[in-house]
Amino acid sequence: MKKQMILTLAVFASLHIMGQKSGKADRLFKELAENGCKSIDSIDTRNKSKEEIAKEISKCIDTQVEAYQMGAKLMNIDLSNTIADGKGKKTVNVLVNNDKDSKEYKECYRQMEQYLMDNCKVLKVKLSSMEQESGKSVSTNPEAREWYSKGVKESNSENYKKAITYFEKALAIDSVFAFAWDNLGICNRKLNNFDRAIYCYKRSLELDPNGLMPLQNIAVAYRYKQEYTQAIDAYQKLATLNPKDPEVFYGIGQTYSVMKEYEKGLDNICKAYSLYTQQQSPYRSDAEKMIVALYTEMKKQNKEEKFYEIMKANNISVGTDKQ
């Protein structure tokens, strides 16, 4: 279904001139992507599931895609092709395809999604947020919360060493502040202090055995330590809490891929890709890259047919699929 939009000549002319000045639609694309990044930055992630956060991010992207489609079409319309309404006022008709199932819309959406994944740092911060609270997630001590907030700010700015000092001050005041342990673990992992990170995640899990953040991140730390069995065990524990969490399959797929068990890796990455797509998560672009990388490795082993077999079993087709 196509939506017809009518703009007055004055509004249209200003956009047309802007387009001619830029000379490229990609300038408009980047400006709108920046707007999308700001919109994503404003999303409140507290006590929201990853699926809820992903849907809010998708809405931000949708808004910019619609604006881009309209702007791009306007830049290519001849101003002389206008219609007078009998009162001296001129309008121009612009058809914008807002059917989200159309090829045009999907391609534009995926381009915007990929650009934001590569250039909007806050996007991955929001996607990785797991701030669903349990009894001991947040401290009741205002001073501990203040140090924690400072730590989160520094961590988001990638000042991990400084963030660690703030999280440690928060925990010195309140040692059962689970979110502080979680974030202290993340900062240590970012600095490759994997043993310390695992210790922090375990402390958090003592307070909340079902904590999603420490379960997911302890698996990542084990993988970096090349302790693959422990990593898979942690992901499987996470799966018992949320069997439709794509991070479980993505993490297991990554682990098997590092172990060079490419068939198992591909099967799990495909499952992650399907779930990411269903949940409208931009992380599907990471899964796509993994699938391409696994295709390259399996092709080296003359396992192209097996690659397509696994893809087909997961109801995923590719442009080069010969079947």
Rounded to whole angstroms, the Cα distance separating 22 from 245 reads 43
Ramachandran assignment for 255, one of left (phi > 0), alpha (psi -120 to 50 degrees), beta (any other)? alpha
Residues 6+ positions from 28 with CB-CB distance below 8 Å: 18, 19, 22, 68, 71, 72, 75
Task: Inform me whether the pLDDT recorded for 147 exceeds 80.
Answer: yes
- SS3 for 287? helix
pLDDT tens by residue, 260-310 = 999 999 999 999 999 999 988 888 888 999 999 999 999 999 999 999 999
Mean pLDDT of 129-152: 80
Q: What six digits make up the tokens of 313? A: 């079993």
Give the residue with greater pLDDT, 86 vs 242: 242
pTM for the whole structure:
0.68
| Across 103-117, average pLDDT | 82
Looking at residue 140, the DSSP 8-state letter turns out to be S
Q: Give percent of the chain above pLDDT 90.
A: 45
What mean pLDDT is reported for the chain? Answer: 81
d(CA 254, CA 194): 18
Helix (H, G, I), strand (E, B) or coil at 102: coil
Give dist(CA 180, CA 169) in Å, integer: 10
Query: Domain spans of the chain?
Result: 3-127, 132-241, 244-323
Q: What's the token pair of residue 32?
A: 């709108």
Tens digit of each residue's pLDDT (9 = 90 or more) over 208-245: 888 888 988 999 999 999 999 999 999 998 898 888 88
Calculate the alpha carbon distances from 297 to 96, 150, 294 in Å: 41, 44, 5
The residue behind tokens 């040692």 is 175
What value does the mean pLDDT take over residues 91-116?
72
Report the CATH fold assignment for 132-241.
1.25.40
By residue count, the chain amounts to: 323
Q: Assess whether pLDDT exceeds 90 at residue 188.
A: yes
